Amino acid sequence: MALRLGDTVPNFTQKSTEGDINFYEWAGDSWVVLFSHPKDFTPVCTTELGRVANLKPEFDKRNVKVIALSVDDVDSHAGWVGDIEETQNTKLNYPILADPDHVVSDLYDMIHPNANAMLTVRTVFVIDPAKKLRLSLTYPPSTGRNFDEILRVIDSLQLTDNYGVATPADWKDGDDVVVVPSIPTEEAKQKFPKGVNEIRPYLRMTPQPNK
């Protein structure tokens, strides 16, 4: 069954490049980005794994752990890690799950038979500390993932969880945000003392409250 937003993601224990991982224990109280790959030694994924290694300080700032998955085994991953580090000029600083038995791929619905019944699709899962699925994005094989966008979405999710706002199209950290419809305007003016701009009764903007 496909995972849907708000679902509790399933736990698993699987081998990785950093030893056996029980997912729930490994995640702890952090947010998690789990991103899947069809197999080792694929060109687009090699660039993605290197990019995430370079961005890890940005994920750390947001209390986010990152973990990759490929259907090949740990020995194969070890060889791939060497290639990633050499070609992308970085040090891999997070684990890659091995999934040759497709346990995780099946749990997280990563096998799409109309794409390829043997390979995982390239999906990103953003999971919150309560182990709830908050975002899933599935990319075609030819298009590299935009991890700046994934960081932007995490910023939005963490902001909106904490402050009762939503973020508009193309929002970036520091931009004005939307007052959610469940908050009446008069209450919003008290809640957001920086000001509320009522463009329409249902469309009200306020400066980002944590800036």
User: Which residues form the catalytic set?
Assistant: 45
d(CA 184, CA 199): 14
d(CA 94, CA 52): 9
Residue 201 backbone phi and psi in degrees, to 5:
-55, -30
Q: Where are the alpha helices (DSSP H) in 62-173?
A: 74-88, 103-107, 113-116, 147-163
Tokens for 177, please give them: 């945000």
- Can you give the C-alpha Rg of the chain in angstroms? 19
- Non-local CB neighbours of 93 within 8 Å, separated by 6+ positions: 53, 56
- Non-local CB neighbours of 181 within 8 Å, separated by 6+ positions: 202
- Non-local CB neighbours of 10 within 8 Å, separated by 6+ positions: 107, 108
Q: Side chain identity at 134, as an amino acid letter? A: R
